[in-house]
Amino acid sequence: MARILVVDDEQDVLELIVRRLRGDGHEVLSAGSGTEALDAVALHGQPDAAILDVDLPGMDGIELLHRLRELRAGLPAMFLTVLWDGEVVARVRDTGALYIRKPFTIESLRTALDMVLVPG
């Protein structure tokens, strides 16, 4: 299975995703902010993919993805967000990452993650 970085500042959402992904056999690195995520990657190594909230404290998830891709070009990623104004949608699309609206189902999360993990 894959090593997945999950970043969300909503603790209940973060715990739900982590629990489900671990149940599916994935190794999961989790964080509540961009800074924590970068620290986790520095400590535990590069993920195979990232699941990121857009609206994070400090740096947003889009900026975090840019920083992660400085460490690993082309890192597969997907965003989870309730933010859907035109600017956010455009910025997410510019990353080439998939995105899912919150609230989401576990099945939609799994399906999107499977798409993200498909080799290039």
Mean pLDDT score, 20-30:
97
Among the residue ranges 48-52, 67-71, 75-79, 115-119, the one predicted with the least confidence is: 115-119
Nearest to 62 by CA among 39, 83, 41, 40: 83
Domain boundaries, the chain: 3-113
Question: Which neighbouring-strand residues pair with 80?
Answer: 53, 100
List Cα–Cα distances, 26 to 17, 87, 110, in angstroms: 11, 33, 11
Predicted confidence band of residue 57 (pLDDT cuts 50, 70, 90) = very high
Mean pLDDT of the region 79-90 = 85
Q: Residue 32 — left, alpha, or beta (φ > 0 → left; ψ -120 to 50 → alpha)?
A: alpha
3 state DSSP class of 78:
strand
Domain 3-113: CATH superfamily, name plus number: Response regulator (3.40.50.2300)
pLDDT of 71 reads: 95
Confidence band (pLDDT; 50, 70, 90) for 88? Answer: confident
